[in-house]
Structure 1
Amino acid sequence: MSSADMKEQNGTTVCYPEPYTKIPPQPSETKPGQLQQSQIDKFFKEGYLVVEDFFKPEELQPCRDAIAEMVELLANKLYDAGKIKNLYKEYGLFQRLTKLEEEFKGANILLFKHQKMPKAFRDIWCNERLLNVVEQLIGPDIAGHPVWNMRTKTPNSKAMDVPWHQDSGYFSEESYDHLIPTAWIPFLDTNEQNGCMQVARYGHKLGKMGKHTCCHSDTWFIDLSEDVMEQDLDINIKNDLVTVPIPYGGFLLFSNIIPHRSLKNVSNDIRWSIDLRWQSPKEDYGFYGIAEGVLFRDSTGEKITPDWEKFLSVDRKEVWQKKYFKQVVETDHFDTTITGPWIGRWDITNENKHTQAFTKSAQ
């Protein structure tokens, strides 16, 4: 890990427990969607919260439709390029990408790598009821954080098995000192069989980043060992690891420094989900100067119209690829290598094509 990545004073790591453990002043008025006080208490005490029955099916259906359209576009792209021989139109949302992947290994990575944020996702991101929840966590000044992801977790895909990590491990150190809550929203009932999440409760209480390594297996994911979680973050591995199945219509709410991971998907269905983040626009996004967030609310109470045109004008993954992976063939739309600035932040203990691409680019 580079010396710039953990702030130190007199050789001691600086921790920021207050933003993660101290409940901010709550709104003076009752608003739709707000959490109960007991839920707020749990979030700041344990670092996460399961919120059930929040969205109605008709609110999430446009997201399912948008994902189906993305899969359709990818299928046609692969077919037109001669990469696959069948479009698999007869398969539904929860099987079609799996069939594409059987013919073209890494189809799920391509969809993850080249996804564009559809309107349905944007509508959920700035959903008024959801923003009322976020206000309870960070206050009335709210911006969407530039890092969002649609997870393409096909059955038995090692490429989408995300290991233990803290989200701020992907960001620069400027993100350590403030809360960036995440809502992980699945588009089907999730459980241990199809790859639901696990969290290490109380792992946020020190307000500290653990030392990660890079990269996990054959992926681009950073990794936080259970030894580090115990020794540096004061987590009891035996008692504090919690499996959190989320029913369709609910979501998992967690902080940017709570360790978490996803389980393997051993079901027959694709576990689709999105993760969306928010923070105060007055804080640094910790995003290497690549992009800023999109303003949703401010403390004046005036109606804000999100500047989607500005936000969508920067494709962070394209920026990363051009800066951190100087491809020999820039037009290779079927390359499944993913790299980015987070790789250079941690010790590379496992070489693979993603780290090699980053290292070559850095040199």
Structure 2
Amino acid sequence: MAMETQDRYHRRLATLSAHLQPSSTQQGGSALQMGICRAKGSSPGFKVALLGASGGIGQPLALLLKMNPHISVLHLYDVVNTPGVTADLSHTDTSAVVRGFVGKDQLEPALVGMELVIIPAGVPRKPGMTRDDLFNINAGIVRTLCEGVAKCCPKAVVHVISNPVNSTVPIAAEVFKKAGTYDPRRLMGVTTLDVVRANTFVAEVLGLDPAIVKVPVIGGHAGITILPILSQVTPPSSFTKDEVEYLTNRIQNGGTEVVEAKAGAGSATLSMAFAAAKFADATLRALKGEAGIVECAFVASQVTELPFFASKVLLGRNGIDEILPLGPLNEYEREGLIKLKGELKASIDKGLAFAAK
């Protein structure tokens, strides 16, 4: 009996050590070996990596992911501060096992065996800063992280949050192509925040609960490339010309609204974390086999002449099962579609050019 008690004690120590100090267990610096730690939570689920877990989006997103019943193992990676974030999050009483990884040397251990990789890593937008200003910094970060994904978990579904999404998703695609691991069904730019904002703002105008409102948002994920399709709102609704212009402009400029309100303290973090967690949950439910899950995402697409486009996609066990047609657009929306294409093409081309360097 004493031997069993001692064994349980050592196993608990090993688990705690693995949660808080993954580097020591992986590099042989501790007598507590990963081999005797549990590999999953108490219930079956997916293994998810969050790259950029210590940032303004990463921390609240990590909390929301830790609460998701479909996740059994959650790996948190960043270049700084992940031991503290991991220790803090590991005290929450949900079944997912959380482990932290810090610094470029631990990127690969963070990614091995992952089934979903979520990438919010990068610098936030500041007042007066456009998404395009973020390009040179965030493009390099996304390229490096995707090279790690291609090497360590090439079959994983990848969610790209790092802005500018209109450029970083094409960069990710090119990285995977060079590595010979590209599967367009498994690479998605997260534009769910545009949908979440659209649902919220439309619900305010209609006087409805946002939970029952669904607004398709197509195009891209910056400024005029964001095009809400108000003619396809659920429940079916009609809007005046002034309402359409107000809603479209507010949805397109929602990010700027938050940046200005925070007055230099950052960009959208809580709403982005909420949206990313919502999209991750939809993806995991689809991977698990739940049918009929439709979300908007920025993906490799043939619905227009552009190589990437945000529109409704049917999610499934392989990531994207089908890219759905745009459906009927009214005159205002058709004009918006024409206007956005030029700017969106320039952003896509910029990402492809960066990847080709």
Task: Report the TM-score when normalising by structure 2.
Answer: 0.28
Task: Report the TM-score when normalising by structure 1.
Answer: 0.27
Q: Which has the higher contact order (CA 8 A, sep 6+)?
A: 1
Higher helix share: 2
